[in-house]
Chain A
């Protein structure tokens, strides 16, 4: 994270952000992975991951965050997440039916259980997180280009 004193908010905010963004990301990923065991799931976790990036952008200005994930990469990742979810659904055809949960169910309460559910959660998490970030980036880029006009 290069520091550009002109963009973004004050030093205090930046320092705190630097400390917390990693934590927020890890929390989001935890929620995604444990979606079938505890409250949460792909959507909530995905939104949290997206919020981590939004947080970064608010504190450091658009350029730092955009350097991490550009707009094109964001929308591509989103399409990939959606396609992955669709292919998890299509996977069911091997078992004979659309959306059939074909993987082994495993024992309950373990992380690797519940067949395709964690997979779907991961796909949704990627899709939602990146998608929300893309929305925010589009809004900010619009305001920036307006100021330049």
Chain B
């Protein structure tokens, strides 16, 4: 229970970073933290006390392994996160090249 809440606190820190920071790199960092928090949350959901890693060994029976499904999903989600982060960074680099700054208060050629 406490772990879940702490994990969501991490999520909220990332959210705060995305919403409040005025620097492109900081926003990307916030996005990364959101992704970490989500992944951690999903893995926490699949944990069992005294569980074993879901890899069978030759001499042991399959007993009390942790849930493999969230781990598979989180693997997918890590890779998706990598893709998104890389894309956003490349956009940020191009923006830096055009404007010479990472500060979004100075980047407002578009009206809201």
Q: Which residues of A contact B (CB under 8 A)?
A: 38-39, 41, 43, 108-109, 128, 135, 138-139, 142, 146
Contact indicator B75/A43 (Cβ below 8 Å):
yes
A135 touches B75 (CB 8 A): no
Given A38-B55, A39-B55, A108-B56, verify A142-B93 contact (CB < 8 Å): yes
Query: In the complex, A140 Cα to B86 Cα: how many Å?
Result: 13
Interface flags for B47-60 (1: CB within 8 Å of A; 0: not) read 00000010110100
**Total CB contacts across the A-B interface at under 8 A:** 17
Interface size class on chain B is: 10 to 19
- Given A43-B79, A139-B90; A146-B55 close (CB under 8 Å): no
In the complex, the answer to whether B97 meets A146 with C-beta atoms within 8 Å is yes
Instruction: Point out the residue from B53, B58, B75, B97 that lies within 8 Å of A109, measured CB to CB.
Output: B58
Q: Is the interface of A mostly helix, strand, loop or mixed?
A: helix
| Contact sample, A vs B, 5 pairs, CB 8 Å cutoff | A38-B55, A43-B75, A135-B86, A139-B93, A142-B97
The listed residue with most B CB atoms (<10 A of its CB), out of A41, A108, A109, A135, is A135
- Measured CB to CB, the nearest residue on chain B to A44 is B75
The interface bits of chain B over 28-71 (1 if a CB of A lies within 8 angstroms of the residue's CB, else 0) are 00000000000000000000000001011010000000000000
* B53: A residues at CB distance < 8 A: 39
Q: Which residue of B lies closest to A41 (CB)?
A: B75
Minimal beta-carbon separation of A62 from chain B (angstroms): 16
Expressed in whole angstroms, the minimum distance between the Cβ of B69 and any Cβ of chain A is 15
- On chain A, the residues within 8 Å of B58 by CB distance are 109
